[in-house]
Chains A and B, each alone.
Chain A
Amino acid sequence: MDAEKEIISRSTKRRGNVVLRRWKDILFIGGHGPEDEVTGDPFYVGHLGSALSVEDGYKAAQICGEILLSAMDEYLGSLDRIDYILKAFALVSSEPNFYDQEKVMDGFSDFMVKILGDRGLHARSVMGTSNLPGNIPIEIELIVKIKE
């Protein structure tokens, strides 16, 4: 399948590439961290509750949002084609006694509403986890409703 080949070759070239798959008017977007889209190098590393503060985590979540929007812009040609953000799932790398994952993820949610208005409102689940790939502090996956 050509589309699949293209995705694989792009993700090989660009280690930080955001992977999107489309079904009808729904986009499934693979989990992405605060990592450079080309090199894959993380802008933040470490756990919330030790290396990173809530403020750091909030900023990292916003960077995830910027990267995901930029990938959608590239894929769709325009962010106007986003109908609304349907669902966000966030993994927050956390020390065992860190419980402010929601405040960290607000960095993403606030940003979505700032850029997209009501179209940025989304259902959301947030969880802490002991470790994430490359020691990134947060990873966010999305389901997005697009306009045909």
Chain B
Amino acid sequence: MSQTDKKLEELGIVLPKKDRRGKGMVAIRQYENLLFVSGTGPNNVDGKPVYTGKLGAELSLEEGYKAARLCGINMLATVREYIGDLDRVAGIMKVFGLVASSPDFYDQPAVMHGFSDLMAEALGDRGIHARSAMGTCCLPGNIPVEVEAIFQIRG
């Protein structure tokens, strides 16, 4: 078992097995040692959203935080499926987080901490990243959070 997998086990995190996407898009496209990871939602293994609704309306900050954490778990699963072993992750370069928000909700960064905290817990210093977070009126499938990222991997 890889060091990162041991860490995930300690944290009690189980990565889902299958990614849902098909057709014209793929979960990851690689350029040299950079992985461009598609926007990832808080879905279960079957691709159904575990959380729906907007922050500041149907969902609390705590629920948004958990949804962002689930986006992170799904993203780690996607990356592991692609590279085989999360020990090969050298770092996370850049994260862009979209938060479905009612017009007067302004705590998008606190929601995105759910994703960022998870990455720091699972990957240590490798999980630290540059990040932008924005609110928007609406996301696909009425999910509350969508996160895309650029990972660096070891050759």
Task: Please tell me if the beta carbons of A99 and B23 are within 8 angstroms of each other in the complex.
Answer: no
Q: Which stretch of A32-40, A70-78, A122-130 is in the interface?
A: A122-130
Tell me if A145 is interfacial: C-beta within 8 Å of chain B. Answer: yes
Report B-chain residues with C-beta under 8 Å of the C-beta of A113.
23-24
How many Å lie between the Cα of A145 and that of B142 in the bound state?
Answer: 32
Residue of B nearest to A129 (CB): B136
Majority SS at the chain B contact face: strand
Report B-chain residues with C-beta under 8 Å of the C-beta of A44.
none
Tell me if B84 is interfacial: C-beta within 8 Å of chain A. Answer: no
Task: Please tell me if the beta carbons of B139 and A123 are within 8 angstroms of each other in the complex.
Answer: no
Q: Which of B23-58 contact A (CB under 8 A)?
A: 23-29, 31, 36-39
| Number of interface residues, chain A, beta carbon within 8 A | 36
Q: Which stretch of A5-13, A14-22, A90-98, A133-141 is in the interface?
A: A90-98
Report A-chain residues with C-beta under 8 Å of the C-beta of B26.
121-123
Residue of A nearest to B96 (CB): A125
Q: Which of A95-117 contact B (CB under 8 A)?
A: 95-102, 106, 108-113
The distance from the CB of A101 to the nearest CB of chain B, in whole angstroms, is 4
Task: Please tell me if the beta carbons of A120 and B24 are within 8 angstroms of each other in the complex.
Answer: yes
Pair count A-B, CB < 8 A: 89
Task: Please tell me if the beta carbons of B138 and A128 are within 8 angstroms of each other in the complex.
Answer: yes
Report B-chain residues with C-beta under 8 Å of the C-beta of A129.
136-138
Report B-chain residues with C-beta under 8 Å of the C-beta of A111.
24
How many Å lie between the Cα of A109 and that of B25 in the bound state?
Answer: 6
How many Å lie between the Cα of A86 and that of B146 in the bound state?
Answer: 19
Q: A84-B29, A112-B24 are in contact. Are A124 and B38 (CB under 8 A)?
A: yes
The distance from the CB of B154 to the nearest CB of chain A, in whole angstroms, is 20
Tell me if A68 is interfacial: C-beta within 8 Å of chain B. Answer: no
Report B-chain residues with C-beta under 8 Å of the C-beta of A109.
23-25
Binding site for B on A (CB under 8 A): 26, 84-89, 94-102, 106, 108-113, 120-130, 143, 145
Binding site for A on B (CB under 8 A): 23-29, 31, 36-39, 96, 98, 100, 136-142, 146, 148
Q: Which 10 pairs, one residue from A and one from B, show the smallest C-beta to C-beta distance? A: A109-B24, A125-B39, A128-B138, A124-B25, A123-B36, A123-B29, A102-B140, A101-B140, A99-B142, A125-B148
